Each structure stands twice: as C-alpha cells, then as structure tokens.
Structure 1
Amino acid sequence: MKFVLSFLCLFLIVTNSVLLLFQYDAYSSGLEENGQVFFYEQDVEMKVKKDKIVIKQHFINLPEEEVIVTWPIISENRSCDLDTSDSCNRLTEDMTTFKAEENSKQSISYEIPLVDGLKDGQLIQDFLVKIETGAVSLTSLQITDELKRGGMWVSGLPLIGKTSLELIDYSLSIGAGDVEELYWQQNVLPIQYEDDYFTVYASTTLPDEITNLLGELDYTNSEHLAVIFEKNKSNIDASRIAFVQQEDIASIQNELIVKNIQAQFELPREDQLIAEVLSSFLLDLPVGSPKSSWMYETITNYLTSEQRKKFQTALLNNKQQLTAAKFDEILTDIINLKTSFFVLNEQAGAENFPLLFEDYRPLYINELQQEKMKVLFKDGKILYEAEPLLSNLGYTLNHTDKGLYVQNATRAFRFPIQEPFYVLNEKRYDALSEPFEDIGSQLYIEEAWMMRLFLVNIEKQEKRINITQSALF
C-alpha cells in the first residue's frame, strides 16, 4: 500500500511540477512585496476517520530563529510526529514555540474532532497550525479517507490527482499559498475547466462563452481558486473556494472578481460591501449587490472623468489599508468636500445613505468639542445631528408611534410624524417645513429650526463652529 501511494504521489508531482513552479515563484514574489518576515512550505497529511481527522503537518524552510506556533483552537492530542527522530526537537514542552536552532524542518501531529461525523456540504475552517510572522509559500495536501466515503474534497489548491484503492480513497493537491478551508460533499462534480488560476467543478459541460470568459478574466491574484457550480450554497463563505449559483457570465464575474480583489487588497472576507465597491471602481463597471452598484454609480455620476482616474489611482496606491474610512478620505481629498459616504453606507446595512457633504470645522457646544457630531449640507439646508446636539443641551429624546418627544425640566416638545405642526408645553404651533429629517439611521435637525426652537446662538468662525444656549429654562 505504501509503495502504491508513494509511486502515485511521485508520478503526480513530477507531471505537474512545471505548472506549479511558475505559480509558486509568482506567489513568493508577492509575499516579499508584502513585507512578511519569512516564508515556509508545508506538507500536510490528513487521515479522515469516523469521528476525527488525524493531521501530520511538516514545516519546511523554517528560520533558525525562535518562532511562535499557533494551534487550531479545536485541535486535540497535540504532539510530535514520532515517525522521524528529530521531527520536532525544536518544539518547547508547552508546544507554543519552535526554539532557535538550525534544523529547518519540523513535524507535528494533532487531531481535529468531527463531533457529528463528516457531513455532506461540510466546510472545515482554521484547521491547520500557523507559524506567527511567517507566510506559507507552498502547500502539499494529501487526504486519505479510511472509510472510503467517496465524494469530493476541495481546498482551493490545484487538484493533482485522486484515486480509490481497495482500502482507502486518496487525493493530492499542491499549490501556492496556505489552505484556510476544506470542503467536502458527497456528490462528485467533474472538473469542466482548469488553468493556472481556476479549477471549475460543474455537473455539465460549460458553454464556450463561459470558458472563454475564464480564460480572459484578468485574475491577478497568484493563489489558485476552486469554483463550484452548485445551487443552494450561497451561505458558504470561503477564501479560495467560490460557490456560484448560476452558470451565467454575470454571476461568475461577480463571484470571482470580488474574491480576487479581496485577496489582492487583503480585505477581510466579511467586508463584502467594500470589496464589491472597490471591484466596481477598478473595473469601471458595477459589480456585486444592488447597493454596491448604486454606490459606484452615485460616485461615478458625481465625479468628472479626470477625478475618476485620480480616484482609481489613489485606491491602487493605498492597496494595503483600504477601509470605508479610507475611501472617504480619498474622495474628500479629490473633491475638496468632506464626506462620510462610504462609512455611513457601511453602517446603514441594506439602506442607501445619500452622497452628502459635511462642514470641515469642529463643532463646539457650550465650549465642549463634539468630535463625532456631523453637520451636513443637503438640498440647500444645513443639518445637525440631533441626538448628540440636544443631549448636550440638556434634552431627552423619545421616539414613539405618536411622534418624537423632546423635553427638559421646563420645556416639552412633541413633533408628530409627517404632520405640519408641533406642540410646545401643550400649545400647538404650525410648521411650514419639517424641523427633523431622517438620513440613514440618524436623525438630523435643520439649522434655522434648531435656533428657533431650542434657543441657541450659532457663531461660525474660520476654524470652528460655536453653539451656545441663549437662554436657560
């Protein structure tokens, strides 16, 4: 059995070495540009049993310096790989560190429990040991299933080959980068397309327009990606495995482009909105959800062609630190108008927050600076964020089904919902316009109404705005 497996591994590795060498070199260069402290390779052997996965992980090209070992939280029975005499002579007794030493190869073993056994459609995450301050340049992943469940294993690495022997099922994958997730499903989908960047699994042959798209797609990330055409898998989120619901060009473009951008710009997987918006600006076309498309079109329609080019260039120049706040900072610099468009849309969930501009000047209420309070310009009006403003003036706010109640010790207001009046201390007054306005999830009050109702003075200086109470009640 060992001879058969060894021969199979050797044959598959040799026949694919040329293809993988190009991808490995590209990935290593990318790591160096990102300033990682060191790079190592890993060989991972996984034996899948009834209620656990036994893993042997071999580290190659470790530095001579001391490095910290981070184990998967769920791992059990951590130990050395005792098959080799000096397999982990650098591992400390508490198993948290590889000591400083010349031996550049170390091997450890541990178990990942499968509490309910292996389930169809299961995604196993964060199952490998990591070396702190190091980055994985190349991974070899061998999976042996002693129960011969069949099915298909997908890691994102290029699949070199698989076989079913008398006692086991076996597969081998090798490729640039680390493995963050491992997916298994019972239904085996054949590979319908593969190149240096993609392996596509689908039940039917892909149309020429799809394969042509994959061949032409500008996928600049050096890590290989597995693409699975499978319905009802949209809730599975993996970094190197893309689940595409529909075999159409739009779905493929959206899924693959966004994952590429997330990897290139090191965006968190959960930061989907920013990844989609960034993809749209870099490709000059709407990508992703309706909200992402709306945000892209809103900014694109506002900017001149020259400003759009500056915006794209600035995004590329800030590759390692792009957040919603950074988007706003870049846009503010280009149009010379302060905005929190991206941050507020990120906070607003599914709701669209309009493109509005803010007063640069810090706001002071009774000489106390309000660092996070916004003053917006909208439709010729000046709007102040109501709740922090009124709270600082000594009022409480209460939203009810009858309207908004604002009161302090001596003055009580009620502002009905969409009714042209307000009530002050039980006396009704007509209102020709709305004092308050909801924008996103925040309540704002118009400047003239604020001065009239809440008896404040506003002094606008070159470098600050002062709000003081003109009377106390």
Structure 2
Amino acid sequence: MKIILRILLLLLGVNAGLLYLHYSQSAAANGAKDHPDTYRQEIEVINRADGLYIRHHFYDLATGRYEIIWPEGSVEQECLTEGSVSCSRLNEAGIAFDEGEGDQQSIAYKIPKKESLKDRKLFKRPFVLLQDAKPLTTVFHMTDEQNIGGMWVNGLERVGKADKERISYRLYRGVGFVNELYWQPQDVPIAYSGNKLSVYGEGIKEKQIKEMESILEEIGGDHVSVVLSPLNKTLYAQRFVVEKPMNMDQVVKQVARMSVQSRFMIPANEPSMNSMLASILGDQAIGTKAEQGAFNRLKESLDEKKYSAFRQKVRGRIGQELSAAQLDEELQNVMNFDSQYFQKTMHEQQYSYPFLLLDSRNVLLDGEEIKDLKAVVQDEKSFYPADELLTRMGYQITSNDQSIYIESPKRNYRFSRIEPFYVMNDRKYDYQEEPYKYISGKLYFDEVWLRRIFLVLIEKSDESIAIEQIEQLIKEMEKE
C-alpha cells in the first residue's frame, strides 16, 4: 500500500510539473510578458493631397512575435520594399512580425484625407503600434510635398528644418512615442527648445518657461511642446498643448499633468491622480480648485520630514502602475497608520475629505472585539466613532441643531453644539477644548475625553486597543 501511495504522489508531482511547463509555454506563445519589449523606431511622413504616406521603420526588435496594431482607417498596408529583408518577418496576413532573427523591419501605409489641409487638423493615432511593446526613442521626418506652410507639431523636439521651392521638411526626435500629429496654418516662431520642453510663441516670459522646465525635470516626463498664439483654439493632446498666451497658468498645470501621464500607469477611473501626482512631485498645487485643496490638505498635515519621505516613495513608483489605493499604502509606510485619504479624494472624488489616519489595531470593548471599528488619528490625537462604540456600551444617541444627547439607564449627557459645555445627570461642566468632533459628518470622541466622561480605561498594545468600562470591571471584581 505504501508503494502505491508513493507512486501516486510521484505521478501527481510529474503532472503538476507538466501542467506548469505547458502553462508557461502557452503564456509565452500568447505573448504574455512580465515586462513589455522595447525597440527604437523611425517614422517618415509625406503629406500629399490625398493623404499621409508613412514609412515606418522598427529597430532592435527581439526574436519573438509582435502583433501589429494598424491605425484605424489606414490603407495600402504593405512591406516597404517587396522581397527585402527589411520586412522578412511580416507574415502573409500582415497582422504580425513573426518570430525571426531580423531585428530591423520596415512597413508602409497610408492615412487617407478627404481634402487638402486648410483649417487646423489633428490626426489621432495615425501610426502603427506593436502589441505588448513600446518604443524607447523616435526619429520623425515630416515632408510636405504640397508646401502648404503652417506648422506641424507632434510633441517631439524639432531639431532641423529645410524649406525649398516646392517642398518643406522638418526633423524631430526624442524619447518615447507620439501617436498624434497636428497641423495648423499659422506658423509660430520657436521661443525655447530643450530636452524636456519646446515653446513656440512670442512675448513668453522666461519665468513661465523655467517653471514648466522645472516641473518636467522634477517629474522626469517626456518632451512636451507648447504652441502659444492669440489666434489659437485650445487643444490638449498627449504631448503637446495649443493655447492662447493669456492662459499660461492653465498651460503650466496641463504640462505637469501630461508629464505625469507619461511616467505613471494610472487607472482610467481615477483621472484626478494626474493632478495629485504632479502636485506631489512638483511640490506645488496643480489642477482644479478642489484638486489643489486635496493636495494642500495633505501637505499641511505632514511634517517636513514625513512629507519628503512620502515624495521619495512616490518618485520610486515612476514607471509603474499607481492607483489611489496604492498611494494610500505608500502613505501608510511613512506614517505607520492606515489611510484611505487618496481613495476617498481621488477614487471617490470626495475632494473635501479630511486628512486622517486609521489606527490598524483591533478595538476590544470589555474583552470583545468590535469588528469594523477603527480609531481615527488626526493632529496626533485619537478619536473613536460614537455610534459604533457608545451604543455598544448601552447608550442611545440623538441630536438636533442645539444639542447632542447620549443617554443610558444610569447616565444622561447633553452636549451643547452652540456653547462650550456639557451636562451629565443635570450637572453642568464647562470645557475649553472640545471633547468631540464631526469627521465627514460622523460623530467622534477624543480619547482623553472618552476616558474622563464615559468612565472607561484604555490600554494599548502593539496588536490591540482594549477599552473597559470601570463599572463592568467593578462587577467582575465583585464576582471574584
């Protein structure tokens, strides 16, 4: 019997190993990757009357299979040069680069136009993407065979230009990828060009340029282009801004948000995270008035040392997924208390939610744990929710505009909501520091006052907070 059991265990182990091997091979075959592949690319765009003619070159490709995501509406999708090794991995269906050794591949396609460009035009997602891969760098050639003038913007730094009798040419390059191309009939002169920022316009203040440059350097985002002209209509793209000079304050904030978007993977249902992260990393309030208020409340609630440590935690998450819940975890690592601040403000969009921390220890009343009850820490003081705690102690709580009533068979309390006093069993007590406060519309009592008024002992350990009613302790002692 023992021999049979050993054989069965051995077979189970072998089967488990085979299943794991099959799964891992299947995942690889389906393109599942822990980290996206990277490559370099070069894009040549030729503007003609009937469309944009694009030659797209990929360099430093790995040997694995790459699914090709063609731009919606693109036509004439083909190998750049038939029979050439430059597209030896392009399969017959034209939907992927198959596995192979050729690390350079080149394709061609066309984005049709219904008419020649006259008014401004934004081409959205006009370029090929490779599934589960991203470009490290992009070199971009823009050739206008119609010579229509105006200016082309894509978010990359413009590093060269040439204008001839019947043709104009612009050269761009930079880190990352752009998948938007914009043209406007008005050509705006360049005012500033750097690794992180290009500004087109006239009369731009140096202070504003330095502010945007500083934010981009601090966050470490991709290059951003800003086009400023009194004739402009507002346009915010992934890596460029088209705006009027009078709206520079908004431009600076938008540049910060765009920089964050290029550095973090943020959930689509938490759009305000862009402004919050830009505010934290740039150390200045960015976004709407409500979003700025949420950041200011955070900064005012942390001392300089902890605020600096938290910013370092956030900076360490650059290039990763980051949600409001994960931001709360990073805050917890700094403060040593639980937090829901970012989930409340950024995810649930309760922008006026107060900054408070949750004591992670379990709360026990007379030896029995009260589930889902957590002490709140605010301004280094502990507060306990009245509804969950006092009702368990035998009190009933009611209130109106003037008073809060907390009543039990033995003791009755009335707390004035207008003047600094409370009444216990018909005896009035004045106070200077308020014993309770409302947090997000919920009644909480200060720990010190909880001991004094409601006659309890509170003992804390690393694992729990033990609250015991003195009267209950006396009863237990009398039994003994």
TM-score by length of 2: 0.63
Instruction: Say yes or no: does 1:47 pair with 2:63.
Output: no
Partner of 2:192: 193
- The CA RMSD over aligned residues, in Å, is 4.4
Task: Report how far residue 66 of structure 1 moved.
Answer: 2.8
Q: How does 1:317-328 map to 2 (within 5 A)?
A: 317-319=316-318, 320-328=320-328
Task: Report the Cα distance in structure 2 between the residues aligned to 1:241 and 1:301, rounded to whole angstroms.
Answer: 33
Equivalent of residue 205 in structure 2, options 204, 207, 226:
207
Task: Report the Cα distance in structure 2 between the residues aligned to 1:348 and 1:222, rounded to whole angstroms.
Answer: 27
Task: Report the Cα distance in structure 1 between the residues aligned to 2:150 and 2:161, rounded to whole angstroms.
Answer: 11
Partner of 2:354: 354
Partner of 1:294: 293
CA contact (8 A) 2:402 2:416 kept: no
Residue 119 of structure 2 aligns to a residue in which SS? coil
Task: Report how far residue 356 of structure 1 moved.
Answer: 4.5
Q: Write the deviation string for residues 222-279 of structure 1: whole angstroms up to 9, x where unpaired.
A: 7322111246878633222134544687445433333333323344798552222223
CA contact (8 A) 2:341 2:356 kept: yes
Change (3 A) 1:375 1:76: farther
TM-score by length of 1: 0.64
Partner of 1:178: 177
Partner of 1:144: 143
Number of residues of Structure 1 aligned to a counterpart in Structure 2: 369
Residue 291 of structure 1 aligns to a residue in which SS? helix
Residue 87 of structure 1 aligns to a residue in which SS? helix
Task: Report the Cα distance in structure 2 between the residues aligned to 1:194 and 1:89, rounded to whole angstroms.
Answer: 39
Task: Report the Cα distance in structure 1 between the residues aligned to 2:439 and 2:245, rounded to whole angstroms.
Answer: 36
Task: Report the Cα distance in structure 1 between the residues aligned to 2:223 and 2:197, rounded to whole angstroms.
Answer: 6
Residue 219 of structure 1 aligns to a residue in which SS? helix
Change (3 A) 1:447 1:156: closer
Task: Report the Cα distance in structure 2 between the residues aligned to 1:270 and 1:151, rounded to whole angstroms.
Answer: 37
Residue 235 of structure 2 aligns to a residue in which SS? coil
CA contact (8 A) 1:229 1:247 kept: no
Residue 195 of structure 2 aligns to a residue in which SS? coil
Task: Report how far residue 189 of structure 1 moved.
Answer: 0.7
Task: Report how far residue 77 of structure 1 moved.
Answer: 3.0
Task: Report the Cα distance in structure 2 between the residues aligned to 1:362 and 1:96, rounded to whole angstroms.
Answer: 56
Which structure has the greater CA radius of gyration? 2
Instruction: Say yes or no: does 1:108 pair with 2:111.
Output: no
Partner of 1:259: 258
Instruction: Say yes or no: does 1:382 pair with 2:401.
Output: no
CA contact (8 A) 1:324 1:346 kept: yes
Task: Report how far residue 208 of structure 1 moved.
Answer: 3.9
Task: Report the Cα distance in structure 1 between the residues aligned to 2:299 and 2:444, rounded to whole angstroms.
Answer: 30
Q: Write the deviation string for residues 101-158 of structure 1: whole angstroms up to 9, x where unpaired.
A: 2322222122223457646343222221122343323322222334333211101122
Task: Report the Cα distance in structure 2 between the residues aligned to 1:90 and 1:218, rounded to whole angstroms.
Answer: 38
Partner of 2:227: 228
Q: Write the deviation string for residues 67-122 of structure 1: whole angstroms up to 9, x where unpaired.
A: 32222233233222236633322111222221222322222122223457646343
Listed as ranges, the gaps of 5+ residues in structure 1 are 1-34, 364-370, 386-414, 421-430, 449-461, 465-473
CA contact (8 A) 2:151 2:185 kept: yes
CA contact (8 A) 1:44 1:56 kept: yes
- The residue type paired with residue 75 of structure 1 is S
Task: Report the Cα distance in structure 1 between the residues aligned to 2:83 and 2:240, rounded to whole angstroms.
Answer: 34
Instruction: Say yes or no: does 1:314 pair with 2:313.
Output: yes
CA contact (8 A) 1:219 1:260 kept: no
Change (3 A) 1:90 1:325: same
- The residue type paired with residue 382 of structure 1 is P
Task: Report how far residue 61 of structure 1 moved.
Answer: 2.5
Q: Write the deviation string for residues 277-330 of structure 1: whole angstroms up to 9, x where unpaired.
A: 223223433233222221122122222233222322222233323221112222
Change (3 A) 1:463 1:80: farther
